[in-house]
Amino acid sequence: MLWSGLIFLLSTDMFGGGQTGRILLPLLRLLLPGVSEPALLSLHALIRKVAHFGEYLVLGILLFRALHTTSRTIVQTVAAVIVLAALHAAVDELHQSFVPGRTAAVADCLIDVTGAAAGLAITLAWAAIRRPAPSAA
């Protein structure tokens, strides 16, 4: 619930492109002297999209941990996580459509769901690595 609240906060005007640009663009100019302004603006946009991906990667992990029980199969849990992440992303974009200075984008929903799926993949890979090897009988 806390992570969902953080995602909601990041969808407010406090974290719109203009606001993050005030911090990131001077930093990028400092780190990448001589890079053109259009390239810096593109890098800023890319960082924002990677942030979408990362927010939902964590959400995917947290949802899996919250939803996976002995009464659910892995497939049921994965399906539930994807559906919930997609619903969360859609509601988040809907919310942004009402926030001045923010816009809703289907592409962001796709990035979000891809991030949640990556979180699932990491969680399942980690579980497979940690699973004890079957003993030879």
Q: pLDDT digits over 55-101, tens only?
A: 999 999 999 999 998 888 999 999 999 999 999 999 999 998 888 87
Domain ranges of the chain: 2-130
Full 3-state SS string of 21-67: HHHHHHHHHHHCCCCCHHHHHHHHHHHHHHHHHHHHHHHHHHHHHHH
Look up the pTM and report it.
0.85
pLDDT of the residue at 69: 86
Q: pLDDT digits over 100-123, tens only?
A: 878 889 999 999 999 999 999 999
Contact present, 108 and 93 (Cβ < 8 Å):
yes
pLDDT band per the 50, 70, 90 thresholds, residue 137 = low
